[in-house]
Amino acid sequence: MQASKTLANIKVRLETIKYGGWENLEVAINIKSPKDLYLTYPTAEVILNYRADSVREKIASKSLKAFLGAGRTVGKFTGNIVNKENLVGATTKVTLISLDDFLAIATWESSVNQNIGVAQILAAGFGDSIRSIAYEQVGITLGIEERQAWLIDRLEVKELFWEFTTAIKNSREAAGKDISFFHYSTPIDRINRRLFGKTAKQIKEELGNPVSLTRDSFGRKALRRISAVQESAAVRISRGENPCDAVENCIKSFFYDIIDFRI
């Protein structure tokens, strides 16, 4: 990768967008090169769950520099906001980070710092991108409202997944028992079989993905059901219930019928 340049006084249009559960993310568009996107520092900090005014410290991190490799740096951009020039009292300059540099930091957070929250965001974004490209190529229109709604559901599933597996881990540790992949995979597979009538292996094969099950291919209704079961089961497990029994009892209490995981 080549080094990023530090530029000053580029002219940008600053817009506020919604992404998943975030309502007011600030993105800047270079008016001379409209495909160049930037995030404001506060927006980057919100997404990465950094404290305020800490992006500069992260950029200077030796760990980040080592991760990026020789000759690659994260650039700092100062943007002149052209669509606020005539607003009285409006800030007309803003400090920006390019989208590519932001993604580099997010990848570093996920892989080096083991930041689970950031890993979830990256995975959900990848799922959204693949879904949008695939739909476009087969002639299916995916509206912005649908994409936002799906992202919210997908991120919630990821967050509740960690609550669910953490509850399993804590229950095993409290009982003084070992933890293995089996103790996570069995109740997770129970969710798949009871909600969708298929094992994880069968879903993988149907998706043409023999390595790992990706819920980025699941529909909104399926995602919402998974979230509800994971959240309720985590509470039951924390109270001492067996994980598989907790899943079974949750699904029975919700009166869920079997549906296609794609809907």
Query: For the chain, what are the domain ranges?
Result: 7-114, 124-254
Query: How many C-alpha atoms does 87 have within 13 Å on its Cβ side?
Result: 9
Asked if the model's pLDDT at residue 158 lies above 80, the reply is no
Residue 216: which of 129, 141, 111 has the closest Cα?
129
Asked if the model's pLDDT at residue 133 lies above 70, the reply is no
Helix (H) or strand (E) holding 98: strand 93-98
Inter-residue contact 216 to 150 (CB < 8 Å):
no
Q: CB 162: neighbour CB atoms within 10 A?
A: 14
Which range is least confidently modeled, 50-54, 97-101, 142-146, 202-206?
A: 142-146
- Residue with the larger pLDDT of the pair 91 and 39: 39
Helix (H) or strand (E) holding 80: strand 77-81
How long a stretch of residues is the chain? 263
Asked if the model's pLDDT at residue 141 lies above 80, the reply is no
pLDDT tens figures, 163-183 = 888 888 888 887 777 776 677
Question: What's the rounded Cα separation, in Å, for the pair 22 and 35?
Answer: 22
Q: Which residue has the tokens 């079989």?
A: 193
Q: Is pTM beyond 0.75 here?
A: no
- pLDDT band at 117; cut points 50, 70, 90: confident
- Kindly tell me the burial class for residue 36, based on how many C-beta atoms sit within 10 Å of its own C-beta (0-12, 13-18, 19 or more): middle
Helix (H) or strand (E) holding 181: helix 181-196
Instruction: State the average pLDDT for the chain.
Output: 78
Inter-residue contact 153 to 220 (CB < 8 Å):
yes
Q: What angle do CA 219, 125, 155 make, to 5 degrees?
A: 60
